[in-house]
Structure formats: structure tokens, C-alpha cells
Amino acid sequence: MRISMVSEHASPLATLGGVDAGGQNVHVAALSTALARRGHEVTVYTRRDDATLDERVPLAPGVEVVHVEAGPATHVPKDELLPYMGELANGILEHWRRSRSTPHIVHSHFWMSGLAALDAARRFEAATGRTIPVVHTFHALGIVKRRHQGADDTSPAEREWLEPRVGREADGIIATCSDEAFELKALGVASARISVVPCGVDLDHFTPDGPAEERGLRRRIMTVGRLVPRKGVDLAIRALAELAAEGHADVELVVVGGASGPDAERDPERERLRALAAELGVDDRVLLRGQVSQADMPAVLRSADAVVCTPWYEPFGIVPLEAMACGVPVVAAAVGGLIDSVVDGVTGVHVPPRDPGAIAAVLRELLWDEERVRALGHAGRERMVSRYSWDRVAADTGRAYRAVLDRSRREAALRTAEGALL
């Protein structure tokens, strides 16, 4: 199958440098590569954000990245990209017209890519009579972001009505977790058009065996992620302080993520967390590590007795997968993708959102029970191997594409039959 991926702000090539890559970059790169391994031909369209980039860059055998001129050829924050989506659609359409073989299906990532993909596919159909179905993955939903972040949400106002429109107009939706599927149904997306396929994890890189970063005698809990309030690192600090107040002074919290170098010192969230740890009297046990590369991440994760993932909300959450793939139990807020990925009592323990007392209660039971830590970790690895390999994710995604293509052909046949009757 020939597949066009559209990822307006998150280039899969950014994963190669590692530094600024978020979940979507990793997802598009790994999914495209795994689809190509299964024999598909993948072209990824992304916005040119650097004037020195070639128009076409090979990513892996069977995967090519095409940089489309859409707005200035420099980094533009994603919340300012909406005005350039028409240009992105023009570029995609132009590339389809120039290449001898047009795609069988388009898969867009994030709401603005959905707009560009639908626009390009509609215009292509109007010009040639050929339908190219659009499958869409949101990666995050504005309505959920607004619910939790309120006035701090910097998304453009248009997101509120354009995003649900993408959901209703796309030929198929791939949600990454069941919680997202519920949200989409509430937005008016027909459930028959929604498939749930999770993100995957690199099981050869994130393994339980291999070096672990050295540590002292204390038990070690860890958080990993961007240093933004919604990731809930402060909740882990409060839980640590509760344990300390009960006499468990032998636990440390390693906080991975945030800026590194001179920028790190100016990061207000880092300052807030440092001040909170000092106020609660645990600053000697909270280690703010800053950015860790993907290359070093497995060794760092393996050094933890438990990884604490307690965001306010989480569209999917790749960090819990990485921890489980390394055989480390996850203390997970029961929100978003974590509800599906972390099995309560089997690969980790669920806690209610924004509840440091509940996190402390779980850690109190878990950290000194080495057998349980091992059993949860072992089950986590098994779950990742059986359900979350990129090959499995690509196979499930391919099935979702085929279902959309079949439906689209049936609908086209029905339209032709109706036309003949008129």
C-alpha cells in the first residue's frame, strides 16, 4: 500500500537529533518505519522548518520525508502554525500530482495536519475523480487540554470547532487509547469509524537486561518527562515528603527531563519544584537530573525501583511503556492512555489523579517488597512484548487502513448505484 503520512510540526527526522523530540515525532518515525518493514511505501509530509533541509530525505528503507514550504523556514511554535495549513495542503497536492503514483491512503497526525490532509484529498478528488481516504490520529485533544489547563492553553481559538470537524470528516480515526475514543464519541464522531491502536515502544532499546546507572543505598523512585506542571512532578515530591515524615528517609526521587545546560537554571518549573522540595524538607533527596538522551534512558530507568507517572491528564504517555519495557513497575495516575497501558496490580498500580497521599500509600507498600517489584516489572515487560511492539502496532494500523479503504470503496459503489437509478 502507498501511504502518505502528514505530520505538520513533528518531523520524524527530529528524532535523529533526539533533543527536542516529543511523542509525536517518535510515533511517526517508528510507525512509518515499521509499516515499510511490512512492505508498504511511506511518504511523510512535514513543514520545512529549516532552510538548509533538502526537499526529500530518506528516513529508512521504504520511507521518505518530504519537506513542504508552508510558512517561514524556521522553527514556529505549533500553536502559531494554523495560518500555514493551506500552504501545506498545496505542497502535498503538488507532490501527489508530480509523483507518478498517488497514495492509497493518507494518515494525518495532530488536528492541523488533519485539516491539511482533508483539504488536499478533497481537492485531489475534485480534480481527478479519485478518492484518497483520510485516516486521522489526534495525539491530543484540545477539549481535554482546555478542561485541565483553562486560560493557560495557548492553542488558537479555532481549534475548538475545527478539531471536532476533522474527527467527523475524516474517513477513519485511529485513537491511541480507549479514553480518547470516549472523548471522540462525545464530540460526535461515529464509533464505527474509530479504531483504537496504541503507540508502541522500541523493545530492542528498552530492555530489562543491560547496565543500570549506579546509585546509592536509598530506594529510588523516578519521574521522566517535560518539566511542565501538568506532568505532576510536584505530586511525587509531596509523596516523597509524606514517606519522609513517616520515618522513611531512605528514599530518593530522581526527576528526569527539562532543559539542560544554562537554560535549565532559568526554567521556572524547575525553580518551583526545587522550592517545593526545600519547603517540604526533602531537597537533599530530590535530584533534578535535567535532560537525558534516549540513548541513556534505559540505563537510567533500570536504576529505579518504580517510575511515578502521575500527570493531571495524558493523551497517551510513552514513558510508562519505556519503564515497563525495562521491567520497572509504574505508579500511574488512572488517566488517559495510562488506564490502558498500565494494568492495575499487574504491571504497576493505579492511583487517582492529583492525589499525593495515594502515591505515598502505594510506595509504602511497594518499595520494600522486592519480590512484588520484580513480579510487576516482569509482567510489564511481558505486556510490552505481547502488545506494544512497533511491528504489532504497524500490523494493527494496516488493518485499520484496510477497513477504511473497504468502507470507502463500498460507499463509492453505493453512490454510483444511486446515481444510475436517478
Q: Which residues bind ligand UDP (CB under 6 A)?
A: 22-23, 26, 224-226, 256-257, 291-292, 294, 297, 316-319, 322
Minimum distance, C-beta of residue 257 to ligand UDP, in the bound complex (Å): 4
Question: 226 or 354: whose CB is closer to ligand UDP?
Answer: 226
Ranked by CB distance to ligand UDP, the top (closest) residue is 23
In order, the DSSP letters of 393-418 are HHHHHHHHHHHHHHHHHHHHHHHHHH
Question: 111 or 316: whose CB is closer to ligand UDP?
Answer: 316
Q: How far apart are CA 232 and CA 356, in angstroms?
A: 10
Long-range Cβ contact pairs of 207-212 (< 8 A, separation 24 or more): 207/298, 207/325, 207/326, 208/302, 208/325, 208/326, 208/327, 208/377, 208/378, 208/381, 210/298, 210/299, 210/302, 211/299, 211/302, 212/299, 212/302, 212/303
Minimum distance, C-beta of residue 10 to ligand UDP, in the bound complex (Å): 10
Question: 118 or 325: whose CB is closer to ligand UDP?
Answer: 325
Minimum distance, C-beta of residue 284 to ligand UDP, in the bound complex (Å): 22
Residue 292 neighbours by CB distance under 10 Å: 17
Q: Which three cell numbers stand for residue 347?
A: 504491571
How do the residues of the chain divide into helix, strand and coil, expressed in percent and rounded to 5?
A: 50, 15, 35
Minimum distance, C-beta of residue 141 to ligand UDP, in the bound complex (Å): 13
- List of E strands, 69-193: 105-109, 134-137, 172-175
Question: 16 or 249: whose CB is closer to ligand UDP?
Answer: 16
Minimum distance, C-beta of residue 59 to ligand UDP, in the bound complex (Å): 18
Report the alpha-carbon angle 68-72-76, nearest 5: 100
Question: 166 or 256: whose CB is closer to ligand UDP?
Answer: 256
Q: How far apart are CA 301 and CA 70, in angstroms?
A: 39
Question: 91 or 257: whose CB is closer to ligand UDP?
Answer: 257
What is the SS3 assignment for 365? helix
**What is the number of residues in the chain?**
422
Sign of CA pseudo-dihedral 224, 228, 13, 40 = positive
Minimum distance, C-beta of residue 7 to ligand UDP, in the bound complex (Å): 14
Minimum distance, C-beta of residue 323 to ligand UDP, in the bound complex (Å): 9
Question: 30 or 36: whose CB is closer to ligand UDP?
Answer: 30
